[in-house]
Structures are given as C-alpha cells and as structure tokens.
Amino acid sequence: MFDAKQYFDNEMSEHQAVAKHVFDSLGEDFLRMLACWKETVTNGGKIMMCGNGGSASDAQHLATELIVRYTKDRAPIAALALSTDTSALTAVGNDLGFDRLFARQIAALGKPGDMVVAISTSGQSPNIIAALEEARGMGLTAAGFGGRSGGNMVGLADPLIIAPSDTTARIQEMHILIGHMLCGALELELGLV
C-alpha cells in the first residue's frame, strides 16, 4: 500500500542531500557562471537560454527574471528564451529538423558578446548539443546547466554547472535554485538593486 508520508519524507530527504552536495561542491562553478553573465551584460550582450520540456520552462522562467526583475524594480537585462516563438519552433522543426531548433535561432539572433545558456538534465539532447556547437562556432560564450555526468555537454559548455543527481526532478530543482541565485547575484553585481 502506498504510504504518502513515507514518499514525502523520501523526496524531501533526497532533495536536501542533493542541495547539500550543491552547497559543498558547486560554489566555484556558480562564481564562474556569474562572471560570464556579468561580462556578457556589461559588454552589451544578451543571454539566450534554451532547453526542452521542463528545462524549456526553466529557460523561460530565468530569462523573464532577467528581463523584468528578480527582487526589485530595476533596468531590464537583455535575455531571451529560445523556446517561446512557436512559429520559429514549428518552422525549424518541420523544415530543418528538431535537432536544429535552437541552433538556427542562435545563428539568426546571436551577435559577438552574446551568451547561450543551454539547460539539459541529461546533457544528451541533440538540439542542446547543436545549440552549444553553434554558439561556439560563432564565438559566443556557450554555457550550460546539466545533470548526471553532464553527458555530451562536457567540453562544449564552459562554464557548466552539473547538478549532482541522476533524478530528473532533483536536477531541475537545483537548476532553478541556482538560476534564481544567479539572477539575484547578477542584479547585485550590476548595482541594479
């Protein structure tokens, strides 16, 4: 018989263990990512974010925090999620293939000084890998949030923050936690709040 209380306890315990591992091991990665975000924005670039499924939602969520505000009213920060233009998504998917979904938009919108932040729990999604390859090929900063071992993002995304878990839900929880901290820290670094 299903024990809802035991399920709750197990999920919270796993979350806390992963969060503790993030706290213990990812501080330097956080600082490197923050430095890239700050350099991009300070030099007039924009942060383009992409992901699939829940990671697409995280990309949209974090881009919106930057454009609108995270903690207080302030000047906007140039960011966009590449998963929001349904016409572009369906045209690229239909005409060029789903693997080119983000790379094509990066090719069209990316300019020197821009940054791509690719989000993937597995690090294996072909369209995420193609996005990072496109960004690198254009000389843009190609960064990422990954999970598990980092998959094929390792060596393509730099900096790369890898959530230390094999559980998709825990990885996504850490991505949004770290993403929120990056938004808050960036506002403070830029003196906007």
pLDDT digits (tens, 9 = 90+) for 44-97: 999 999 999 999 999 999 999 999 999 999 999 999 999 999 999 999 999 999
> Measured in Å, how far apart are the chain's first and last C-alpha atoms?
51
Query: Over 90: is that where the pLDDT of 19 sits?
Result: yes
Predicted pLDDT of residue 193: 79
Question: Residue 150 — pLDDT band, cuts 50, 70, 90?
Answer: very high
Tell me the C-alpha distance between 51 and 81, whole Å.
9
Strand order in the sheet with 115-119: 79-81, 47-51, 115-119, 141-147, 160-163
In the chain, the amino acid numbered 118 is A
For domain 4-189, the CATH architecture is 3-Layer(aba) Sandwich (3.40)
- Say if residues 119 and 142 touch (Cβ distance below 8 Å): no
Tell me the C-alpha distance between 83 and 90, whole Å.
10
Domain map (residue ranges) of the chain: 4-189
Which H/E stretch holds residue 161? strand 160-163
Predicted pLDDT of residue 46: 98
Note the pTM of the prediction, 2 decimals.
0.96
Longest CA–CA span in the chain (Å) reads 58
Condensed to tens digits (0 to 9), the pLDDT of residues 88-97 reads: 999 999 999 9
Closest by CA position to 70, among listed 111, 27, 37, 39: 37
